[in-house]
Structure 1
Amino acid sequence: MAFMQEKLFLLCLVTFSSLLLPVSSRGAVYQPPTVERLTDCFPRIPFTQGMSTLYGESNVHLKSNGSSVDIILDKSQYFLYVGSGLVSKNKYHHGFFSASIKLPAGFTSGVVLAFYMSNADLFPHNHDEIDFELLGYAKRRQWVLQTNMYGNGCVKTGREEKVYLWFDPTQQFHQYTILWNKYHIVFLVDNIPVREMIYNQAISSVYPSKPMSLYTTIWDASEWATSGGKYPVNYKYAPFVASLTNLEIVGCSMQKMNLPNTASTCSKNTTFSSLDPVDGEEYARLSKQQMVGLNWVRSKHMYYSYCKDTARYKVTPAECNVQ
C-alpha cells in the first residue's frame, strides 16, 4: 500500500512539474497556453528593407546582411548618454507589426526598450500611438512589459497596463507583435495576446485612426521609469545591447507624405499600396485559444491596469466599463 501511494505521489509530482517552467527570475511559472502562431502567417523582411536609422547611428549595428540588428545605449566620449533607434521607411494605416527581441542582461534600471507606432512627426498636436515599452529592472530583477495607447492627441488619460513576463527576456529572443485594424488593437507576446483594445463607441474618439510609422528605440528613461530618478541608469554596466530579428511589417503603406489630417481607408482608389492585410474576418476577433491565452496572462501576470487606478482617475475612463 505504501509503495502504491509513493508511486502515485511521484506520478503527480512529475505531472505537476511538467506544467512549470523554471525560467522566470521570480521562480517557476506555469506553462503558457497553446495559441495560433499568427507570426507564421506573414513574411519576414530584413531591417535594411523595412526600417532606417532614426538616431544614434554609431549605436545601430546591422548583422547577417540586415536580417538582424543590435541597438545600443551607451555613454559617448563626451560623457553624454547615446541611445539609438530605427523607424519604418513607410507609414501604415492598420496592419501587423512584429519583431523578435532579446533584451540587455544585468542591472538595467532606467533602460527602456520601446517597440511602438506613432505619427507625432506628422500630427504633433493630434497624434496617435500604440506602445510596447519594456522597462529595465532594479530591485525586483524582473523586466516589466508596459502597453499603452493614445489617439487623436488625447494624452491626458494614460492607458497603461503592466505585466511581469513569464520568461527571462534576456536569455533568448521572444516575439512582440502589434495587430491593429478597425476592430481592435491586440498586443501579443510569443503570439499570446497580453492585451486587447476593442473598438467601440466608448473609445472611438481616442482610437488610433491615422497612418503611423513603426519605431524601435533604446533610451535612458531614468527620470520617467524609475520612481522619479530613484534608480537611474548605471553606466558601469553599459553598453546596454538589445538585439532584434524576425521583422514583420505588413500593412497599408502610405505612398504620399501630404495626406490631409483625416482618417483613411485602404482601397484601390487611395494612396495606399495594398489592401488592408488584417481586415478579414479571421482578424476581427480573438479565437477561443487566444482568449484562453489572454485570460491566462491577465489573471496570472498582470499587476497594473489604468482601469483600476482609482487614485489616479476619480472617474473611471468610459471604455473601462465596456471592455
Structure 2
Amino acid sequence: MARKTVIVNMIVLFFMVAAKADIISGDFNQQFDVTWGNGRGKIINNGRLVKLQLDKASGSGFKSKNQYLFGKIDMQIKVVPGNSAGTVTSFYISSLGPAHDEVDFEFLGNLSGDPYILHTNVFVQGQGNREQQFYLWFDPARNFHTYSILWNPKTIILYVDGTPIRQYKNMPSYNIPFPNGQPMWILSSIWDAEWATRGGLVKTDWRLAPFTSLYRNFKMQVCTQFSPPSCHQEPWMTDLLDKFSARKLKRVQKKYMIYNYCSDVRRFPLGLPAECKHS
C-alpha cells in the first residue's frame, strides 16, 4: 500500500511539474502548425525556421497548437527585404472570433530605402482602436531581431530586442477593459494590405513576388487555463516595468513613436479613451 501511494504521489508530482510554466523553445514542429497558404508557408531546417511567403494569389501563416492564458513569448523575425510596399508581416496573440482579445506586432512594408513602420494594437472583446506606431532604430529586414509579448494579469508589455516600446496596464479601478479572460493563440502571417503603405498610395509590385519573411528562435513561458496555481507564481506573471525600464520606455516613445492614439484628439472628439488619461 505504501509503495502504491509513493507511485501515485510521483505521478501527481510529474504532472504538476509538467504543467508549470517551463521555457519552451526551439522546434516549431512541436509547438506550431502552418495553417494557411497552400504551401507558401513552410517549417524547415528540422523545425528551427519558418518561411512565410506572399504572392498575388495568397499569403501564409502559422499558429500555435495550443491556447494560453498569459505568457511571455519571444520570436526572432526577419521581414521582407527591399521593396516591401503593400506587405504586412505579423506576430500576435489572439483568441480569435468576433469578440476576440488580441495583441499585435505588424510590420508595414515600404519602398526600398524607406523605413518599415511597426504597427501595434490591443483588442479587448473585439474592440481595438488602440494603435501605436514606431520607426525602429534598425532595418528589420537586414537581420533577425527579437520581438516579445509579455501578457500577465497586471499588464501587457511589448519589447524589441529586450527594450520596452509599449505598455498597456490593467486598471480595474478605472473600469478600463483589459484582456484577461480569454485564452489566446500565438500566430504569425504575411499578407497583402495595400492600405499599409502611405495610406494605399503605393501599390504592391507583384513582379517582385514571392515576398518572404523568416521566423526562428521562439521562446515561450506560458500558462493555460488548466495550469495549477504554481504556474501563476512564476516571476513573469507579476512583472511590471521597474523605474529604469519605465524611463527607457519613455525615451523610446519620445524618439521613435510616430503615432499614438492617446494623442489623437481629432479622432476622439468626445474625449480620449480612459486608459490614456490614467496611464
Provide the TM-score with structure 1 as the length reference: 0.74
Q: What residue in structure 1 maps to residue 209 of structure 2? A: 238
Tell me how far 1:61 sits from its aligned partner: 2.4
Tell me how far 1:283 sits from its aligned partner: 4.0
- Contact conserved, 2:89 with 2:108, CA < 8 A, in 1? yes
Identity %: 35
Tell me how far 1:288 sits from its aligned partner: 3.4
Tell me how far 1:207 sits from its aligned partner: 3.2
1:180 corresponds to 2:151 = yes
Q: Residues 198 and 220 (structure 1 numbering): CA distance in 2 closer, same or farther, change over 3 Å?
A: same
Gaps of 5+ in 1: 1-40, 76-80, 256-265, 269-273
Of 29, 41, 44, the residue aligned with 1:63 is: 44
Q: What residue in structure 1 maps to residue 105 of structure 2? A: 132
Of 45, 50, 57, the residue aligned with 2:26 is: 45
Q: Secondary structure at the match of 2:26?
A: coil
Residues 20-64 of structure 1 deviation map (CA, whole Å, 9 limit, x = unaligned): xxxxxxxxxxxxxxxxxxxxx944221111110110141112222
1:220 corresponds to 2:196 = no
Alignment of 1:75-224 (within 5 A): 75=56, 81-120=57-96, 124-138=97-111, 141-155=114-128, 158-201=129-172, 202=174, 204-222=176-194, 224=195
Q: Secondary structure at the match of 2:224?
A: strand
Q: Residues 254 and 70 (structure 1 numbering): CA distance in 2 closer, same or farther, change over 3 Å?
A: farther
- Contact conserved, 1:127 with 1:153, CA < 8 A, in 2? yes
Output the CA distance in 1 between the equivalents of 2:152 and 2:82: 37
Output the CA distance in 1 between the equivalents of 2:256 and 2:110: 16
Q: Which is further off, 109-118 or 135-144?
A: 135-144
Tell me how far 1:295 sits from its aligned partner: 1.8
Q: CA RMSD in A?
A: 2.1
The number of residues matched between the two structures is 256
Of 267, 272, 277, the residue aligned with 2:228 is: 267
- Contact conserved, 1:177 with 1:191, CA < 8 A, in 2? yes
Q: Secondary structure at the match of 2:46?
A: helix
- Contact conserved, 1:51 with 1:89, CA < 8 A, in 2? yes
Output the CA distance in 2 between the equivalents of 1:140 and 1:50: 36
Gaps of 5+ in 2: 1-21
- Contact conserved, 1:72 with 1:83, CA < 8 A, in 2? yes
Alignment of 1:24-39 (within 5 A): none
Output the CA distance in 2 between the equivalents of 1:127 and 1:232: 30
